[in-house]
Amino acid sequence: MASNGTWDFWIDRGGTFTDVIGRRPDNTLVAHKLLSEHPQAYADAAVQGIRDLLRLTPDEPIPAGAIGAIKMGTTVATNALLERKGERTLLLITRGFRDALKIGYQARPKIFARHIIKPEMLYEEVV
């Protein structure tokens, strides 16, 4: 796919590292990895990764029209949920469904176990 003389970026921001893949105007790909948090060096890893691949100096603005597309994904929120870290959470749900997440699909590793240990709910309260 031609890039019309612009760069395209795909970014994955994780809890530790941010990976940036750039497609140059000549359609070659280049990868770059940065720490997701490094306040002494940069405010935002995704922006810094783009700036690094464009080889911009710290004072140089990103040129208008240099970028065709940026697509970004993150695992930060997913990891916070899995690790049970973060802020207290409230579940807002339609009346009659307050137990839907607790009930789930009834899937469990030992279908005939008499003592079932369910994981703690991610939310603190339901409204």
What is d(CA 37, CA 35) in angstroms, rounded to the nearest whole number? 5
Q: Is the pTM of this model over 0.85?
A: no
pLDDT value of residue 2 = 52
Three-state SS at 102: helix
Confidence of residue 20 (pLDDT cuts 50, 70, 90): very high
Distances (CA, A) of 75 to 9, 32, 58, 82, 121: 17, 18, 28, 10, 20
Beta bridge pairs of residue 71 = 10
Q: What is the pLDDT of residues 63-80, one digit of tens each?
A: 999 999 999 998 877 877
Per-position b or e across 68-92, b if 16+ CB within 10 A of its CB: eeeeeeeeeeeeeeeeeeeeeeeee
DSSP 26-61: TS-EEEEEEES--TTT-S-HHHHHHHHHTT--TTPP
Specify the DSSP class assigned to residue 114.
Answer: S
pLDDT value of residue 87 = 81
